[in-house]
């Protein structure tokens, strides 16, 4: 099936590993020109940029801490200048944050909200203004989480930030529908990336402990998530908006 993505342009946050770089690879495989955001380590985005340019695609990289409003503004301006316009925004960057609610301080709240939620609000607003002005529509796809609609212990700020992304996607979907801009969320379950922390490699039994919760009996991969992002960024999902799609091997529906 032709996803009709060839020649489109995408800005992807947190493209320096995990699900973000898999999404970048998935979009580039469909002929999409990319602007790849990273924050600290440029090795992976440089690898991707080389790969994509060798395929004849435009590919730019931009260092930005997405918790900074100015950085987000500069990132969006850069992407528009270098790619000419933005058809697709992938709000992927995020952090996990484990702490007991009773021990939390306001800094904990601010940090997670700034990175996981506020950045998506600002980037979406800047890109949607650009898309609305262009008048040819566009796609915004957020990396939310299976916790968008459920609670997990010691993950309060993370759960609130991802719950907020659900509300954000629904609200923007309604307001941006007249501009033919679709806004959707991908809600991954437990995916084998660095966000799961060192315990995955260093603590014997930890991986199996996670797997025990998952009906499909394995962790998910970044590439499997990327396929869903690519579909939601494509012209094959044009009547889908304000939706949150769970990709979790059945874990969310199976919790008692």
Ligand X SMILES: NC(=O)c1ccc[n+]([C@@H]2O[C@H](COP(=O)([O-])OP(=O)(O)OC[C@H]3O[C@@H](n4cnc5c(N)ncnc54)[C@H](O)[C@@H]3O)[C@@H](O)[C@H]2O)c1
Residue closer to ligand X (CB basis): 17 or 149:
17
Stretch near ligand X under the rule CB under 6 A, chosen from 17-25, 166-174, 197-205, 234-242: 17-25
Interface positions, 133-152, toward ligand X (CB under 6 A): 143, 145
184 binds ligand X (CB under 6 A): no
Interface positions, 75-134, toward ligand X (CB under 6 A): 92-95, 115
Q: How far is the CB of 149 from ligand X (least distance, A)?
A: 13
Q: What is the DSSP letter of 93?
A: -
Cα-Cα end-to-end distance for the chain = 38
Check: CB of residue 106 under 8 Å from CB of residue 127: no
Beta bridge partners of 186: 143, 245
Residue pointed to by tokens 């500069």: 74
- Distance (Å, rounded) from C-alpha 250 to C-alpha 242? 21
Residue closer to ligand X (CB basis): 42 or 137:
42
Q: Which of 24, 190, 230, 251 binds ligand X (CB under 6 A)?
A: 190
66 binds ligand X (CB under 6 A): yes
Interface positions, 221-250, toward ligand X (CB under 6 A): none
Residues 6+ apart with CB under 8 A from 87: 8, 9, 10, 131, 136, 138, 139
Residues 6+ apart with CB under 8 A from 1: 236
Q: How far is the CB of 98 from ligand X (least distance, A)?
A: 13
Burial 158-177 (b: 16+ CB within 10 A, else e): bbbbbbbbbebbbebbeebe
Q: Which of 38, 97, 158, 245 is catalytic?
A: 158
20 binds ligand X (CB under 6 A): yes
191 binds ligand X (CB under 6 A): yes
| Whether 158 is catalytic | yes
Question: What positions carry a catalytic annotation?
Answer: 158
Q: Where on the chain is the footprint of ligand X (CB under 6 A)?
A: 13-14, 16-20, 39-40, 65-67, 92-95, 115, 143, 145, 188, 190-191, 193-196
């Amino acid at each position: 099936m032709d996803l009709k993505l060839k020649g489109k342009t995408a800005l992807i946050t947190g493209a320096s590993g995990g699900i973000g770089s898999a999404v970048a690879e998935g979009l580039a495989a469909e002929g999409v020109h990319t602007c790849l955001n990273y924050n600290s380590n440029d090795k992976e985005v440089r690898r991707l940029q080389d790969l994509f340019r060798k395929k004849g695609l435009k590919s730019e990289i931009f260092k930005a801490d997405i918790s900074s409003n100015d950085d987000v503004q500069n990132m969006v301006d850069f992407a528009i200048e270098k790619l000419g316009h933005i058809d697709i925004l992938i709000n992927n960057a995020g952090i996990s944050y484990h702490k007991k609610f009773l021990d939390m301080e306001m800094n904990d709240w601010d940090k997670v909200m700034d990175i996981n939620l506020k950045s998506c609000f600002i980037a979406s607003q800047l890109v949607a203004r650009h898309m609305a002005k262009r008048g040819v529509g566009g796609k915004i796809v957020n990396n939310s989480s299976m916790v968008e609609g459920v609670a997990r212990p010691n993950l309060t700020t993370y759960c609130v930030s991802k719950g907020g992304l659900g509300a954000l996607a629904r609200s923007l979907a309604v307001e941006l529908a007249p501009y033919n801009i679709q806004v959707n969320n991908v809600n991954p379950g437990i995916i084998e990336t660095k966000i799961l922390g060192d315990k995955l490699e260093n603590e014997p039994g930890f991986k199996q402990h996670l797997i025990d919760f998952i009906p499909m009996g394995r962790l998910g991969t970044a590439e499997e998530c990327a396929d869903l992002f690519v579909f939601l960024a494509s012209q094959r999902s044009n009547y889908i908006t304000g939706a949150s799609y769970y990709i979790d091997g059945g874990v969310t529906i199976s919790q008692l």
